[in-house]
């Protein structure tokens, strides 16, 4: 059986369907999703989880209707302004990964302020993936590594998985032990593709706004039943 999960990542899915099922506009689902995010972050910290990574906005989400994207940006601004002080009081350290340069400039400023404020905190390491894509992360890492080879900073024979990790946006994080995806979808959706090579997966029908402490506990218990062999054979 597995030990307790050190790093849990969550694909937070189902906000729009949650709203549509209630006859509400999709933005109300995203607003409810923010409340679920706050609740789960607090509970993960209470449970002693060391790293929590949340997939907030993907590189593909720009394809959504402009009105919905604008609402997501508005909610992100609200979250960064309203919740950072509370996270700081709870000693949570915030990181944001993704291609932040493509986000609105004021949001980039808010992210930098929040990261700086919480840089020395020693509690839960909270990472939010914004404008993030797993394939894009691998491509930018390969590009940067190629530039360093061309500059003779490294040699081709120096390349290892460990060295490649240092070029990824997640270079400061351990690989996730468990990835949870809500809303009944059973796919990775371009999230932590390199990092999740041997990650355990837990899929639930629960829509993200309804994801509660009991759902989190169930996922943790499911994880503990797993036999993680990382390609090796079962030890008898």
Active site residues: 13, 61
Q: What is the distance between the alpha carbons of residues 20 and 29, in angstroms, rounded to a whole number?
A: 8
Q: CB neighbours of 45 closer than 8 A, spacing ≥ 6?
A: 52, 90, 92, 123, 124
Q: CB neighbours of 176 closer than 8 A, spacing ≥ 6?
A: 7, 8, 9, 51, 53, 192, 195, 196, 199
CA 3 to chain centre: 21
Q: Is 160 left (phi over 0), alpha (psi -120 to 50) or beta?
A: beta
31 close to 71: Cβ distance less than 8 angstroms: no
């Amino acid at each position: 059986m597995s030990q307790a999960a050190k790093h849990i990542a969550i694909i937070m899915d189902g906000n729009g369907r949650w709203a549509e099922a209630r006859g509400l506009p999709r933005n109300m689902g995203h607003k409810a999703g923010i409340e679920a995010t706050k609740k789960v972050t607090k509970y993960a910290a209470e449970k002693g989880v060391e790293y929590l990574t949340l997939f907030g906005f993907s590189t593909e989400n720009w394809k959504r209707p402009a009105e919905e994207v604008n609402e997501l940006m508005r909610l992100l601004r609200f979250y960064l302004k309203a919740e950072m002080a509370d996270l700081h009081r709870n000693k949570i350290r915030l990181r944001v990964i993704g291609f932040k340069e493509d986000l609105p400039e004021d949001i980039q400023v808010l992210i930098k302020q929040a990261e700086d404020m919480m840089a020395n905190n020693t509690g839960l390491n909270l990472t939010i993936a914004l404008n993030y894509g797993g394939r894009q992360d691998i491509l930018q890492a390969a590009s940067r590594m190629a530039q360093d080879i061309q500059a003779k900073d490294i040699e081709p024979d120096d390349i290892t998985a460990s060295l490649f990790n240092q070029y990824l946006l997640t270079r400061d994080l351990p690989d996730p032990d468990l990835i949870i995806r809500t809303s009944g979808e059973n796919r990775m959706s371009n999230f932590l593709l390199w990092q999740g090579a041997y990650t355990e997966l837990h899929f639930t029908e629960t829509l993200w706004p309804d994801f509660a402490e009991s759902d989190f506990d169930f996922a943790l218990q499911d994880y503990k039943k797993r036999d993680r062999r990382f390609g090796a054979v079962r030890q008898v």
